[in-house]
Amino acid sequence: MNEKQQTIVGMFDKIAPTYDVANRILSFGTDISWRKEGIKKALELGNSTNPQILDVATGTGDMLVFWQKAVEGEARYIGVDPSVGMLEVAKQKVSFAGFEVGYAQKLPFESEKFDFLSISYGFRNVTEKEEAVKEFARVLKNGGRLLILEFAKNVSKNPFRIAAQWYVKKVLPWLGGLISGNLSAYRYLPNSIEGFLTRDEIVAMLERNGFECEVAKDFSFGVSSLLIAKKK
């Protein structure tokens, strides 16, 4: 992997022990409802009978916990992440899933293996996004669903959106640094959002790489975006 990707992974290794606490405090818990809605919709659209579920950039395994609560019956859960520090926390927290060290742009799995693939708030951190989307298509079964939750770039002048941007730029880095002891890691977040894609640009990337986008919506006036796409 390139040097920038390695730097990002190293940053997440350092903040892994406090990551879950910081996430809940900094988002005021709103990410919980976003995750639940995304998973519910994906299960409605895809094969929910004994599904194989892969969570990419799984971090501490948070998204897998929500998958397991939503799925009725048996399922197989796997989380993959390049951060060993994050996976150490995930293995302690999530006993029902398997975990692998790996990158989104080079997934260590056979082709057409999974019914669902999710990546929540980790797509921004992938330096080779187009390659990652191609890998998502490779490991999903035909008709499988890709679920993306992300802080997409948004240029809206909505007052709520402007207030949210101020919070992310001015308040969140300071609070995150206070909780984690790593100010630079939480300064990275607003910078990564500003340099990221818009929701429509993500949709276009998916559709030129073997997906049909079925859901593209915003939460909280564009603070977070949900995309669900079907592998053609």
Give mean pLDDT, residues 90-116: 97
Provide the sign of the torsion angle of the four alpha carbons 20, 102, 182, 130, taken in this order: negative
Q: What is the pLDDT of residues 69-80, one digit of tens each?
A: 999 999 999 999
- H-helix or E-strand spanning residue 120: strand 114-120
All residues at 6 or more sequence positions from 163 whose CB lies less than 8 Å from its CB, including other chains: none
Counting Cβ atoms within 10 Å, is residue 190 exposed (0-12), middle (13-18) or buried (19+)?
middle
Q: What is the pLDDT of residues 8-59, one digit of tens each?
A: 888 888 888 888 877 777 677 888 999 999 999 999 999 989 999 999 999 9
User: Cα(first)–Cα(last) distance of the chain, in Å?
Assistant: 29
Distance CA 63, CA 192 (A): 21
Instruction: Give the angle 77-146-7 at the CA atoms, nearest 5°.
Output: 80
All residues at 6 or more sequence positions from 122 whose CB lies less than 8 Å from its CB, including other chains: 56, 57, 58, 59, 104
pLDDT of residue 26: 66
Average pLDDT, the chain: 90
Q: What is the pLDDT of residues 145-168, one digit of tens each?
A: 999 999 888 766 777 767 777 777
Contact 9, 16 (CB under 8 A): no
When the candidates are 3.40.50.150, 3.30.450.20, 3.30.420.40, 3.30.750.200, the CATH number that belongs to 28-154+197-231 is 3.40.50.150
- Range with the poorest average pLDDT among 3-7, 107-111, 156-160: 156-160
